[in-house]
Amino acid sequence: MRLALDVDSLDEIAERIKYFMDVKSPQGLLDKIKMLPMLAEMGKFFPKTVSTGPCKEIIRRGNFSLDWFPILQCWPKDAGRFITLPCVVTRDPKTGKRNVGMYRMQVYDGHTTGMHWQRQKVGAEHYREALRNASVETLLRNVSEPPQETQQAASLRVDLMARSSGGSVLADGTPPGKMEVAVAIGTDPAITFSAIVPAPPDVEEYLIAGFLRQKPVELVKCETVDLEVPASSEIVLEGHVHLDELRSEGPFGDHTGFYSLEDLYPVFHLSCITHRKDPIYSTTIVGKPPMEDGWMGKAVERIFLPLMKLTIPEMVDINLPIEGVFHNLMIVSIKKSYPGQARKVMNAIWSLGQAMFTKCIIVVDEDVNVQDIGEVTLKVLNHIDPERDIQFTLGPVDSLDHASRLPNYGSKMGIDATRKWSSEGFARPWPDEILMDQKTKALVDKKWKELGID
């Protein structure tokens, strides 16, 4: 990830974020002048549209097939071959804002794939927005009696039923029944990474990539859809998702270490493929951790810490252990200043973008090194009275959670492993941690040489 993002340490990026967040209103002319270099630097982050680029070297509108690319079936029980590293571009039908998200795509044939945007993701919200605008009759034709009534199909039907009538043309002028999608494969790693970062929906991923690379992402217009893709992409797939069509997707050997189960998802119909002359197909294999996506997640952890601190200022550090597959476990250290603060932090995390999926949150005091799992285990288990310190809550859970009572909905657990205070009703004395004093340490250190031990 350091190579991909061209830094010696991921903390460099976190430091840059902090630098930009530290902007105070300028007090006078001198302050304003001092801000000019920062403003000039910020200007570099915005994407710019160029007339053409390497991804347009070959343009195939009719004669194309996905079979040309070495798309992998990764695991024995996968439903087929999956595009696993796609940057999926959609536009909010209401606001016109673009989104780039990474959602796997199961290849059905040379021209169609699945579109696995999970229910709470931005691509899925664009799809729902398009559904809200489309004609009810068209939509109910196919969706009202899906072959297999799954949770997603049921919720989709509820969405459709609840929708008010009228408005059969989408706000962006697209005819009802379709939503435009473009998929860039083999992008600059900063762009690929920006497609996975859990940014707020209104922050455009191309801007994030520009910030990471410190130069604007160059975009080109697609041939058959009104969307823009990175000019330097190796391969671009253009097409539509039909609003009245769902198809079985999965199983797929997922990053949880288990197969994610078959469910109904929209279908992507390709209208055009453009690519470089000799394109390189990028892919990744997810599976039992640690795999490549684990390191992508770790980079997200480091880079997002300063942003999380904006809303949770008492947060000192976090660790999302790779085996916790990012949505299952977050260990957080905090500077505790008032009773009940650990629970406030849990609730704040459960309401913070995709951190809402976190199944278990462990909150410790600031003196615990959350990166040291041994220390965390020792202190957490010593410090808790389970019945008192464990908090359960209900809410949205990750679509990949196969244990929750319902798909996308279930319980979450927080453990308050901070020292308990009398103001929290703890009447007993709290013991000191065993630490050797400096004088004795120095005395022993001096003796190693005398004893001939290096």
Ligand X SMILES: Cc1cc2nc3c(=O)[nH]c(=O)nc-3n(C[C@H](O)[C@H](O)[C@H](O)COP(=O)(O)O)c2cc1C
**Residues designated catalytic:** 254
Binding-site member from 73, 168, 224, 354 for ligand X (CB under 6 A): 354
Considering the complex, what minimum distance in angstroms separates the CB of residue 399 from ligand X? 7
Binding-site member from 81, 91, 98, 116 for ligand X (CB under 6 A): 116
- Residue 286 in the binding site for ligand X (CB under 6 A): yes
Characterise 23 by phi-psi region: left (phi > 0), alpha (psi -120 to 50), beta (else): beta
Q: Side by side, which strands form the sheet with 329-334?
A: 315-319, 329-334, 360-365, 409-416, 390-396
C-beta of 224 vs 354, nearer to ligand X:
354
Q: Select from 113-121, 206-214, 306-314, 412-420 the region that touches ligand X (CB under 6 A).
A: 113-121
Instruction: Decide if 156 contacts 142 (C-beta within 8 A).
Output: no
- Residue 117 in the binding site for ligand X (CB under 6 A): yes
Question: Tokens standing for 454?
Answer: 């290096």
C-beta of 102 vs 361, nearer to ligand X:
102
- Residue 66 in the binding site for ligand X (CB under 6 A): no
C-beta of 113 vs 274, nearer to ligand X:
113
Q: Are strands 390-396 and 409-416 parallel, antiparallel or unpaired?
A: antiparallel
Considering the complex, what minimum distance in angstroms separates the CB of residue 297 from ligand X? 7
- Residue 179 in the binding site for ligand X (CB under 6 A): no
Compute CA distances 427 → 110, 380, 391, 423, whole Å.
69, 19, 21, 9
Considering the complex, what minimum distance in angstroms separates the CB of residue 198 from ligand X? 4
- Residue 320 in the binding site for ligand X (CB under 6 A): no
Q: Select from 116-124, 180-188, 402-410, 423-431 the region that touches ligand X (CB under 6 A).
A: 116-124
C-beta of 118 vs 418, nearer to ligand X:
118
- Residue 298 in the binding site for ligand X (CB under 6 A): no
Q: Select from 59-67, 99-107, 317-325, 385-393 the region that touches ligand X (CB under 6 A).
A: 99-107
Query: Which residues make Cβ contacts (< 8 Å) with residue 130, sequence separation at least 6?
Result: 93, 170, 174, 179, 243
- Residue 103 in the binding site for ligand X (CB under 6 A): yes
- Residue 102 in the binding site for ligand X (CB under 6 A): yes
- Residue 283 in the binding site for ligand X (CB under 6 A): no
Considering the complex, what minimum distance in angstroms separates the CB of residue 62 from ligand X? 29
User: Tokens 């902090």 belong to which residue?
Assistant: 18
Interatomic CA distance for residues 30 and 166, integer angstroms: 56
C-beta of 135 vs 354, nearer to ligand X:
354
Within residues 180-199, the interface with ligand X by CB under 6 A covers 196-198
Compute CA distances 328 → 103, 111, 184, 406, whole Å.
20, 36, 29, 16
C-beta of 64 vs 206, nearer to ligand X:
206
Instruction: Decide if 308 contacts 352 (C-beta within 8 A).
Output: yes
- Residue 248 in the binding site for ligand X (CB under 6 A): no
Binding-site member from 53, 101, 253, 407 for ligand X (CB under 6 A): 101
Considering the complex, what minimum distance in angstroms separates the CB of residue 379 from ligand X? 31
Considering the complex, what minimum distance in angstroms separates the CB of residue 240 from ligand X? 19
Site mask for ligand X (CB under 6 A), range 120-139, x = bound: -xxx----------------
- Residue 84 in the binding site for ligand X (CB under 6 A): yes
Measured between its terminal Cα atoms, the distance across the chain in Å is 36
- Residue 207 in the binding site for ligand X (CB under 6 A): no
**Residue 61 is which amino acid?**
R
The alpha carbon dihedral of 239, 245, 251, 256 has a sign of positive
57 closest CA partner among 238, 271, 236, 270 = 236
Considering the complex, what minimum distance in angstroms separates the CB of residue 359 from ligand X? 15
Residues that bind ligand X (CB under 6 A): 84-85, 99, 101-104, 116-118, 121-123, 196-198, 284, 286, 293, 296, 354
